[in-house]
Structure 1
Amino acid sequence: MTAHAQILDLKSRMAQSIIGQTDVIDRLLIGLLANGNLLVEGLPGLAKTRAIKAMAKNLAADFSRIQFTPDLLPSDVTGTEIYSQTEQGGIFKFSPGPIFANIVLADEINRAPAKVQAALLEAMEERQVTVSGTTHTMEPLFIVMATQNPVEQEGTYPLPEAQMDRFLMHVNITYPPVEDEVEVIRLVRAEEIAALQDRTETEKAEKPDAIPQDAIFQARAEIGRIHVSDLMERYMADLVYATREPEKLSPDLARWIDIGASPRASLALDKCGRAHAWLAGRDYVDPLDVRAVIPDIFRHRLTLSFEAQGDDKHADDVTDEIVKLVALP
């Protein structure tokens, strides 16, 4: 089975557990294929954690979940040196923390204090952690998927802009339509009934094998060979540049944007655009690929003005306006 077929199989398995969130599943897969960290935001109960767990359980990969709380310490995430007695005498031995996994779910990341966020930041960006002066590297397959609640403010620590920029995409989960909510009720009911029944050996044997990590690495290699024309590269750069000098496009954009996107936005458009094209079965990137992922890439990178808030404009609204005004290649 090819890498493309295996990734589509992973997508199909995730869709069996997550009803009505096709776009979210696509974004999680794009983040995995593009080797980037994701911030998943949505109101409570919208299957943020469930979606990430659904991906992890179908991959042959180590998974860990960190529940962030205000009293968490950096060592609770990275691990610490533990003193132990041996025949040669007492030694300090490193005990890895939950960050040492292939897929790390950082649940309610905005509940963690600044020191914990800084420890996580090093792992996300450098793919390593430093404890007691010793550097410990992460596994080749390593991705952090963080969740946060957008409405609860008590006991939270807003993520600084510098750390927000380190996330490849900011995925927003919204309420499902009523038809999908009916399917959610049926799905959870079926899962509860199945959990109460004894699983037979036959049922266990019928469980499909997990997708191997090699499929991810092979897919990334194929994505690296996706063709991006000079015109498409300029189109992506123009979109990002429009956030820095919006007055050249529209007076409204100039009023709405205080700070534009960093060069990481251009790199993210390139990576995610190629991953989106690969998932669609194409060997080249076209404007539809870029337009499909740009809201998730700009959502957390645009700093809007008070005038934008007064006009009830959000980052997605501003992004839509930029896409309309920037000429296609």
Structure 2
Amino acid sequence: MDIEQQARSFQETLIKLRDEIAKVIVGHQDIIEKTIIGFVAGGHVLLEGVPGLGKTLLVRTLADAVSVQFSRIQFTPDLMPADITGTNIVVEEDGRRRFEFQKGPIFGNIILADEINRATPKTQSALLEAMQEGSVTFAGKRMIFEQPFFVLATQNPIEMEGTYPLPEAQLDRFMFKLDVKSPSVQELASIFGGTTGSTQNKAQPVVDGKRILEMRALAKQVPVAQHLLEYVARIVLATHPTSPEGAPVVKQFVRVGSSPRGGQAIINGAKLIALMKGRYNVSADDIRDCARPALRHRLILNFEGEAEGIKSDDVVGKVIEHVPDIPERVRRM
């Protein structure tokens, strides 16, 4: 199968997966697509929204549509790190006792970390190594997870009672942060009709883990032109207030800009968007499409930004306006 055929097959599979999820999830098409992109790209996704908007249902539906192992971790203030990673238990065998490691719910393919900001920072940190390394270390022994491994975390807005803000280091582990908005009147009416009747839609498996890994490998091969790599680099540097490339709005309202992971997330996401649109090359529009979800959680506002009620989304929007996709020196040639 040549590259063109592989790209066409990739597009068909992604669309089939998206449409299967859309049978259950009403609206939120961009949220569905970005979640799938994060999953296939090998990243992790953070969903934020008030309770009742279908965040948990989206994760469950994705797991139903993909034939892989699904685990759920309900984060609460009394949850301990061992409740996530696992612990040693005493096993009696042939009259002798020995320790045996009992795996926690983190050992799965699709992991729902529900209401992650309800747990204490100590427990939240238990996800760090797992998300970044695809493994956990217990008693000096490293245990690697089966691929694909995807953490999809949900959180409530931090101003809600009983929430703990996620540490910057953990936020940086998420490829995308997606804001789940309230549905429209038509979408809400459709939700009511679909959830109060005698039958409810359920997603059926349309792809398996092996196919997801094949798609991930193909996405890695999608070429990105040098000037677009530099475009992403300028966007990332424009989020830093101390950088000569820094945008004016950043110098005024931002304390800390994006790490290089933000740029990596943009590029990996743009490759998936290109394939989803049937192209085997990345465009500047693909990059701009990924900038907000990849950067919104990686910017830390300063005191003035917090006091003015500035939103990181607005800052990223101004950064995109500030940075041209073709440098001025090239335009003048």
Relative to the length of structure 2, the TM-score reads: 0.90
2:54 alignment counterpart:
47
Superposition pairs of residues 239-250 of structure 1, within 5 angstroms: 239-245=235-241, 248=245, 250=247
- Distance between the aligned counterparts of 2:56 and 2:248, measured in 1? 40
2:184 alignment counterpart:
177
The 3 A distance-change label for structure 1 pair 82 and 252 is closer
1:307 alignment counterpart:
304
2:281 alignment counterpart:
284
2:102 alignment counterpart:
95
- 1:294 equivalent in alignment to 2:298: no
Deviations along 1:210-265, one digit per CA (max 9) or x if unpaired, are 41112211111211111100010000001001111467565433111111111111
CA shift for structure 1 position 142: 0.4
- Distance between the aligned counterparts of 1:47 and 1:209, measured in 2? 20
- Distance between the aligned counterparts of 2:189 and 2:219, measured in 1? 37
1:198 alignment counterpart:
none
- 1:194 equivalent in alignment to 2:191: no
- Distance between the aligned counterparts of 1:166 and 1:158, measured in 2? 15
> What letter corresponds to residue 142 of structure 1 in structure 2?
F
Question: Structure 1: 5+ residue runs without aligned partners?
Answer: 196-203
- 1:165 equivalent in alignment to 2:172: yes
The 3 A distance-change label for structure 1 pair 59 and 209 is closer
2:212 alignment counterpart:
216
- Distance between the aligned counterparts of 1:179 and 1:130, measured in 2? 48
- 1:225 equivalent in alignment to 2:221: yes
Secondary structure class of the residue paired with 2:23:
helix
The 3 A distance-change label for structure 1 pair 214 and 117 is same
- Distance between the aligned counterparts of 1:252 and 1:140, measured in 2? 41
Secondary structure class of the residue paired with 2:165:
coil
> What letter corresponds to residue 235 of structure 1 in structure 2?
Y
> What letter corresponds to residue 119 of structure 1 in structure 2?
A
> What letter corresponds to residue 294 of structure 2 in structure 1?
I
Secondary structure class of the residue paired with 1:65:
strand
RMSD: 2.0
* Aligned with residue 255 of structure 2, among 252, 255, 258: 258
Deviations along 1:35-72, one digit per CA (max 9) or x if unpaired, are 01111100111111111111111110000111101111
1:274 alignment counterpart:
271
Deviations along 1:178-216, one digit per CA (max 9) or x if unpaired, are 1111111111123xx126xxxxxxxx9xx8544111221
The 3 A distance-change label for structure 1 pair 10 and 287 is same
Contact 2:237 2:246 in 1 (8 A): no
* Aligned with residue 124 of structure 2, among 117, 129, 132: 117
Deviations along 1:59-115, one digit per CA (max 9) or x if unpaired, are 100001111011111111111111111127211111111110100000010111222
Deviations along 1:273-323, one digit per CA (max 9) or x if unpaired, are 111111111101101111111101111001112322344320010111111
